[in-house]
Amino acid sequence: MSNYHIKNFPEYFHVYRNSVRNPELFWEEIAEEHFLWREKWHKVVSWDFSKPEIKWYEGAKLNITENCIDRHLYTNAHKTAIIFEPNNPDEEAQHITYKDLHERVNQMANVLKSKGIQKGDRVCIYLPMIPELAISLLACARIGAIHSVVFAGFSSTALSTRINDSECKMVITSDGSYRGAKTIDLKGIVDEALVSCLCVEAVLVVNRINSEIEMKPERDFWIAPLLAEASKECAPEIMDAEDPLFILYTSGSTGKPKGMVHTTAGYMVYTAYTFKNVFQYTKGDVYWCTADIGWITGHSYIVYGPLANGATTVLFEGVPNYPNYGRFWEIVEKHKVNQFYTAPTAIRALAKEGVDFVDHHDLTSIKVLGTVGEPINEEAWHWYDDNIGKKKAPIVDTWWQTETGGVMITPIPFSTPTKPTYATLPFLGIQPVLMDENGNEITGNQVDGKLCIKYPWPSIARTIWGDHQRFKDTYFSTFKNMYFTGDGALRDEVGYYRITGRVDDVIIVSGHNLGTAPIEDAINEHPAVSESAIVGFPHDIKGNALYGYVTLKETGESRDHDNLRKEINQMITEQIGPIAKLDKIQFTEGLPKTRSGKIMRRILRKIACKDTSNLGDTSTLLNPEVVQDIMDNVL
């Protein structure tokens, strides 16, 4: 029996039990039956979390691009691999077949080689969401170079820090990018960054917006003429299972970014297997993940996972509100998207604009909806379910991390009964545990604790680039023999998990541990509220008290703020209890967010504590301007 495609709930339980009873056999079968190997492994897994050292499929040889591209050529050469939907709806979408992709990746790989890139070299990719972005990742993988994608909304400082940390030899960028009605001068940002990067020898430039840019002789090269000359054949570099595939930086809550290192075989197996099951992708489906490839979600679930399954994956260059708030739904209708995967922050932003933008579009193609990135509040969940899925498409609330490489806790659609705000059950092979303050596992149900994983899975990150000690300290030192996620979670009466937020978001008020997510959830249910964020501030009696930042759907002086404050606290009292009432409620124009949509509570916490001396680096925020506004109006 193949365990590759789980089709119902009893099957999930059955396969799950086997996967944790005999993980080696389980992961061996999945790998054996569904991938192309140049040589088989001699050991499925070896691990020691105390070092930490983790190896999967040791001894195996492969190239991930043969699995993502070449093998589909036999049966699916003319199937669309990537649908590129440009920023401007009037620009024609591109359908890139597996055959086209094969040629374009090989040409790019040959260009990289011609500029001196070899196996093991690091290549920084700083591109907008255009086909060349996906192609560049795959071209690196083709020749065994390690890609390090930096989200093309990051500043020159953020870019140079990342380039220097992993000593990239090359940067791939574009003259500029389109973002809604704006254009961004990407090459200018790269030039600024490179002033302080001595390691970069060459810059390849894609022409996307036809802008006048400066090209530094000997260093900068337009990519098009090089591609035109390059051969469409490039033999794949045969990689070891544990050779690094990529580095991806994730911001710690403080300090310098961590370059998470993912390796080849395990990452491939896990992202492919999760993609198949979490989205129940079946032949002919069109799948769309709205994330940017600059995040792990884009790596795993726009590029590698879908392509390893021979799927059709949509790559969207633009933003949800250009030319208007209906753009997502227009694209779903246009390309008949079957699986749609986005973030709660996007759902809330679109919900705020009302359902008119949705109602103009035919969304009947949608079979599965997904969310990722932060806890989804109940109101947003229902809005998504009612208006987008029309109560027919299961919502997969997928919990995972840059460090985990793939989805870890999630419903399997059409199998696991969903429950709003719950990521529900572990994926096959994943063994989550909840730990208490004293380092003991909390057993049984209706409990909460710190979320750890007690057995390795194939796509767990192997180290932090250049700093293995930090890897150990951050993830493997809090609890003995456990991977510590940094998140808190609760397990309900049937064993479903609900992620309650980062553990550093837990606030202890009068001795009670309060997670921020459930309180924010209660607040967000108030009809006037769009979004909220809770932080703690010191309080003489309670130890900590709660400070809420709340954005309203409609701003304006006409609202009676004091009355709203009362109503909000009333809702919290009803849903959680008076212990969770807020001492201060500040109404704000917006909340400071990372580019991937996570609220930066660290900044809000400092402001609430009136400690604005050192807010840290706010340049990587999506909306740095709201910080000043919040400081000016602090209570």
Check residue 499 for interaction with ligand 6R9 (CB under 6 A). Answer: yes
How far apart are CB 598 and ligand 6R9 at their closest, in Å? 6
Check residue 121 for interaction with ligand 6R9 (CB under 6 A). Answer: no
Q: Distance (Å, rounded) from C-alpha 106 to C-alpha 116? A: 15
Check residue 372 for interaction with ligand 6R9 (CB under 6 A). Answer: yes
Q: How many residues at the interface with ligand 6R9, by CB under 6 A?
A: 21
Closer CB to ligand 6R9, 102 or 502, in the complex? 502
Residue whose tokens read 């079968």 = 29
Of the candidate spans 30-38, 152-160, 393-401, 519-527, the one that interacts with ligand 6R9 by CB under 6 A turns out to be 393-401
Three-state SS across 492-560? CCCCCEEEEEEHHHCEEECCEEECHHHHHHHHHCCCCEEEEEEEEEEECCCEEEEEEEEEECCCCCCCC
Check residue 502 for interaction with ligand 6R9 (CB under 6 A). Answer: yes
How far apart are CB 498 and ligand 6R9 at their closest, in Å? 8
* Parallel/antiparallel/unpaired status of strands 339-342 and 286-289: parallel
Closer CB to ligand 6R9, 19 or 398, in the complex? 398
Check residue 400 for interaction with ligand 6R9 (CB under 6 A). Answer: yes
Structure tokens at 93: 């979408």
Peptide bond into 458 cis (omega under 30): no
Check residue 607 for interaction with ligand 6R9 (CB under 6 A). Answer: no
Single residue of 125, 149, 150, 296 touching ligand 6R9 by CB under 6 A? 296
Q: Which amino acid appears at position 468 of this protein?
A: H
Closer CB to ligand 6R9, 358 or 408, in the complex? 408
Single residue of 76, 250, 418, 623 touching ligand 6R9 by CB under 6 A? 250
Of the candidate spans 171-179, 357-365, 391-399, 568-576, the one that interacts with ligand 6R9 by CB under 6 A turns out to be 391-399
Q: Which residues pair with 507 in a beta bridge?
A: 514
Backbone angles phi, psi at 20, to 5 degrees: -95, -25
Check residue 519 for interaction with ligand 6R9 (CB under 6 A). Answer: no
Structure tokens at 615: 């807010």
Contact assessment for residue 190 and residue 126, using Cβ atoms and an 8 Å cutoff: yes
Q: Which residues pair with 594 in a beta bridge?
A: 621
Check residue 342 for interaction with ligand 6R9 (CB under 6 A). Answer: no
Q: Which residues pair with 248 in a beta bridge?
A: 260
Check residue 399 for interaction with ligand 6R9 (CB under 6 A). Answer: yes
How far apart are CB 517 and ligand 6R9 at their closest, in Å? 7
Q: How many CB atoms lie within 10 A of CB 115?
A: 16
Contact assessment for residue 154 and residue 164, using Cβ atoms and an 8 Å cutoff: no
Q: Residue 440: name the closest of 494, 409, 478 by CA.
A: 478
Contact assessment for residue 248 and residue 292, using Cβ atoms and an 8 Å cutoff: no
Check residue 401 for interaction with ligand 6R9 (CB under 6 A). Answer: yes
* Parallel/antiparallel/unpaired status of strands 146-149 and 244-250: parallel
Check residue 486 for interaction with ligand 6R9 (CB under 6 A). Answer: yes
**The dihedral sign for the CA sequence 234, 268, 6, 373:** negative
Of the candidate spans 46-54, 372-380, 555-563, 602-610, the one that interacts with ligand 6R9 by CB under 6 A turns out to be 372-380
Single residue of 85, 220, 397, 448 touching ligand 6R9 by CB under 6 A? 397
Residues 422-451 as x/- pattern, contact with ligand 6R9 by CB under 6 A: -x----------------------------
Structure tokens at 588: 């704000």
Check residue 211 for interaction with ligand 6R9 (CB under 6 A). Answer: no
DSSP character for 153? Answer: T
Check residue 358 for interaction with ligand 6R9 (CB under 6 A). Answer: no
Single residue of 176, 373, 405, 515 touching ligand 6R9 by CB under 6 A? 373
Site for ligand 6R9 in 612-631 (CB under 6 A): none
Check residue 312 for interaction with ligand 6R9 (CB under 6 A). Answer: no
Taking the chain, what is the end-to-end CA distance rounded to the nearest angstrom? 62
Single residue of 170, 596, 606, 608 touching ligand 6R9 by CB under 6 A? 596
Check residue 520 for interaction with ligand 6R9 (CB under 6 A). Answer: no
Contact assessment for residue 543 and residue 511, using Cβ atoms and an 8 Å cutoff: yes
Check residue 599 for interaction with ligand 6R9 (CB under 6 A). Answer: no
Q: Residue 429: name the closest of 415, 408, 413 by CA.
A: 408
Of the candidate spans 179-187, 291-299, 434-442, 616-624, the one that interacts with ligand 6R9 by CB under 6 A turns out to be 291-299
Closer CB to ligand 6R9, 163 or 461, in the complex? 461
Closer CB to ligand 6R9, 189 or 291, in the complex? 291
Q: Distance (Å, rounded) from C-alpha 530 to C-alpha 549? A: 11
Q: Residue 387: name the closest of 329, 434, 442 by CA.
A: 329
C-alpha to C-alpha distances, 224 to 81, 111, 228, nearest whole angstrom = 22, 10, 6
How far apart are CB 295 and ligand 6R9 at their closest, in Å? 6
Of the candidate spans 96-104, 265-273, 387-395, 479-487, the one that interacts with ligand 6R9 by CB under 6 A turns out to be 479-487
Contact assessment for residue 105 and residue 113, using Cβ atoms and an 8 Å cutoff: no
How far apart are CB 225 and ligand 6R9 at their closest, in Å? 37
Three-state SS across 191-255? HHHHCCCCCCCEEEEECCCCCCCCCCCCCEEEHHHHHHHCCCCCCCCCEECCCEEEEEEECCCCC
Closer CB to ligand 6R9, 414 or 484, in the complex? 484
Backbone angles phi, psi at 626, to 5 degrees: -70, -20
How far apart are CB 476 and ligand 6R9 at their closest, in Å? 16
Check residue 402 for interaction with ligand 6R9 (CB under 6 A). Answer: yes
Q: Residue 452: name the closest of 425, 431, 470 by CA.
A: 431
Closer CB to ligand 6R9, 60 or 278, in the complex? 278
Single residue of 318, 375, 406, 426 touching ligand 6R9 by CB under 6 A? 375
Which positions touch ligand 6R9 (CB under 6 A)?
Answer: 250, 295-297, 372-375, 397-402, 423, 485-487, 499, 502, 596
